[in-house]
């Protein structure tokens, strides 16, 4: 958190601190968990991060978070159809785990409230650094979620869709997922709902040796919601993780992706698209630590900015001193379609090992005029031609996912967005 001496608290800061006092008796947790909560609210008392805090450079949370809704116990959400047919659906309804839990072989789902009460989740509640405002907010208020355990060697045929559905007030959920040795799974993290919600969501993934996971974050919040999300992962030896995210909604959105390779031979891929419209603010911040030798990563981010939307991508790749033979590549490309929109990119490399190959590229451009002309010369009208080109620009990232059902499902979401905003 911001260590500068803070001037007066903002109404949002006051509201959060007051809410903590009011909610305290309702928050589940043993002694260890409650101590973590106390530490977390202390961090918030020091003030929400401003743009002077480097990792929040493009999202001055202190200034942008100007309304904190009260908790709304009456608000109800209903489970929705999964984006990929036949997925195993597990829902969190306005912050509470659903009573109905599916049964599939090799997978255990446990409501997180139980693990808060027995304290077994306490060690995972620490924020990852002094600037981790989302971690602190979530640790202070988290009441439920799911703990998912995929046993060693389990190979899931169908995706698991974890739905975090909001209806009103505040929701703070957490999704720890352990994937055992050699296990394979596709997990969809669905973030959507209604109303002027303030939500925090923290996913924590641990990949065992040789595990392979594709994790899709599909964020389609209404343009009234504040969505503060974090995805953290540890990659074991020879494990493979592909994270795909699609941000297509929300008023104030911050998606953090914090990944660490902890075993040699691990491979991380990040593919993401930001579809930004209206008067909104979206920030994707990735911190990737190559902590051991012989690990690889690639990141491809594509952004489309319309209306008065403001977007930012910060991507920091840290290569530790012992992480020799690291190979890391990052690219961030933006199509800025409106003069009122803006997009900022900060792709950082922090490199302490010498035997590495690391690089990044970033571009901000308009639609390629030659391409546009070509399509128009073939009789396609300008509006349609533009639409085709913009869609192709982001669809490229989806098509890389290499699983027909998933690609189709995501392209359907994409089409949906273009119908509304195109």
Which chain residues interact with other proteins by CB under 8 A? 52, 54, 57, 321, 324, 334, 336-339, 341-366
Contact criterion met (CB below 8 Å) for 148 and 108: yes
Nearest approach in angstroms of CB 274 to other proteins is 14
Instruction: Quickly count: other Cβ atoms within 10 Å of residue 179's Cβ.
Output: 29
Strands 107-111 and 144-150: antiparallel
Q: Which is nearer to other proteins, 51 or 413 (CB)?
A: 51
Q: Which is nearer to other proteins, 64 or 336 (CB)?
A: 336
Nearest approach in angstroms of CB 358 to other proteins is 4
Q: Which is nearer to other proteins, 191 or 333 (CB)?
A: 333
Query: Which regions of 155-291 does DSSP assign to beta strands (E)?
Result: 160-166, 170-179, 184-193, 198-207, 212-220, 226-235, 240-247, 252-261, 267-276, 281-290
Nearest approach in angstroms of CB 357 to other proteins is 5
Cα 196 from chain centroid (whole Å): 19
d(C-alpha 105, C-alpha 88), whole Å: 12
Contact criterion met (CB below 8 Å) for 23 and 31: no
Measured between alpha carbons, how far is residue 384 from residues 161, 308, 365, 378, 416 in Å? 34, 22, 19, 12, 16
d(C-alpha 261, C-alpha 322), whole Å: 12
Kindly provide the b/e burial profile for residues 377-405, where b requires at least 16 CB atoms within 10 angstroms of the residue's own CB. eeebeeeebbebbbbebbbebbeebeeeb
Q: Which is nearer to other proteins, 117 or 358 (CB)?
A: 358
Q: Which is nearer to other proteins, 114 or 348 (CB)?
A: 348
Instruction: Quickly count: other Cβ atoms within 10 Å of residue 50's Cβ.
Output: 17
Q: Which is nearer to other proteins, 97 or 326 (CB)?
A: 326
Nearest approach in angstroms of CB 305 to other proteins is 8
Tokens of 85: 């047919």
Measured between alpha carbons, how far is residue 82 from residues 76, 139, 191, 308 in Å? 19, 28, 12, 31
Q: Which is nearer to other proteins, 367 or 376 (CB)?
A: 367
Nearest approach in angstroms of CB 403 to other proteins is 31
Q: Which is nearer to other proteins, 184 or 360 (CB)?
A: 360
Nearest approach in angstroms of CB 354 to other proteins is 4
Q: DSSP states of 337-364 as a string? A: --TT-EEEEEEEEEE--SS-EEEEEEEE
Nearest approach in angstroms of CB 124 to other proteins is 30
Tokens of 300: 């491809």
Nearest approach in angstroms of CB 341 to other proteins is 7
Nearest approach in angstroms of CB 133 to other proteins is 18
Nearest approach in angstroms of CB 46 to other proteins is 16
Q: Which is nearer to other proteins, 165 or 304 (CB)?
A: 304
d(C-alpha 43, C-alpha 185), whole Å: 36
Nearest approach in angstroms of CB 171 to other proteins is 32
Q: Which is nearer to other proteins, 148 or 356 (CB)?
A: 356
- Strand, helix or coil at 372? helix
Q: Which is nearer to other proteins, 354 or 402 (CB)?
A: 354
> Percentages helix, strand, coil for the chain, rounded to the nearest 5?
25, 40, 35
Contacts of 80 (CB under 8 A, 6+ apart): 163, 165, 190, 192
């Amino acid at each position: 958190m911001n260590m500068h001496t803070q001037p007066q608290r903002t109404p949002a800061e006051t509201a959060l601190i007051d809410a903590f006092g009011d909610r305290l008796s309702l928050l589940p947790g043993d002694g260890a968990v409650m101590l973590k909560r106390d530490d977390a609210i202390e961090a918030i008392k020091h003030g929400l991060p401003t743009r002077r805090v480097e990792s929040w450079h493009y999202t001055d949370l202190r200034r942008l978070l100007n309304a904190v809704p009260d908790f709304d116990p009456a608000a109800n959400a209903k489970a929705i159809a999964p984006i990929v047919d036949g997925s195993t659906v597990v829902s969190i309804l306005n912050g509470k785990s659903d009573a109905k839990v599916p049964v599939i072989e090799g997978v255990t789902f446990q409501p997180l409230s139980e693990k808060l009460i027995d304290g077994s989740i306490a060690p995972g509640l620490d924020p990852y650094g002094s600037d981790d405002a989302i971690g602190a907010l979530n640790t202070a208020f988290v009441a439920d979620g799911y703990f998912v355990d995929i046993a060693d060697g389990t190979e899931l045929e169908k995706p698991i869709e974890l739905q975090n559905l909001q209806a009103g007030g505040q929701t703070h959920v957490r999704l720890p997922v352990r994937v055992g040795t050699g296990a394979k799974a596709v997990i969809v993290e669905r973030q959507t709902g209604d109303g002027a919600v303030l939500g925090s969501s923290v996913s924590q993934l641990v990949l065992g040796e040789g595990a392979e996971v594709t994790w899709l974050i599909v964020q389609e919040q209404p343009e009234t919601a504040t969505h503060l999300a974090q995805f953290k992962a540890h990659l074991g030896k020879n494990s493979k993780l592909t994270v795909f995210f699609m941000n297509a909604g929300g008023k104030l959105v911050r998606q953090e992706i914090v990944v660490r390779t902890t075993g040699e031979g691990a491979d991380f891929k990040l593919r993401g698209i930001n579809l930004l419209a209206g008067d909104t603010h979206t920030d994707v911040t990735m911190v990737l630590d190559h902590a051991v030798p012989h690990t690889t990563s690639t990141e491809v981010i594509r952004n489309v900015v319309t209306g008065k939307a403001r977007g930012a991508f910060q991507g920091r790749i840290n290569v530790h001193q012992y992480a020799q033979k690291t190979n890391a590549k990052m690219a961030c490309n933006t199509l800025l379609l409106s003069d009122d929109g803006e997009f900022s990119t900060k792709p950082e490399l922090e490199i302490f090992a010498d035997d590495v190959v690391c690089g990044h590229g970033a571009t901000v451009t308009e639609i390629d005029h030659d391409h546009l002309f070509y399509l128009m010369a073939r009789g396609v009208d300008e509006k349609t031609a533009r639409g085709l080109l913009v869609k192709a620009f982001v669809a490229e990232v989806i098509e890389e996912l290499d699983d027909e059902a998933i690609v189709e499902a995501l392209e359907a979401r994409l089409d949906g967005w273009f119908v509304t905003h195109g």
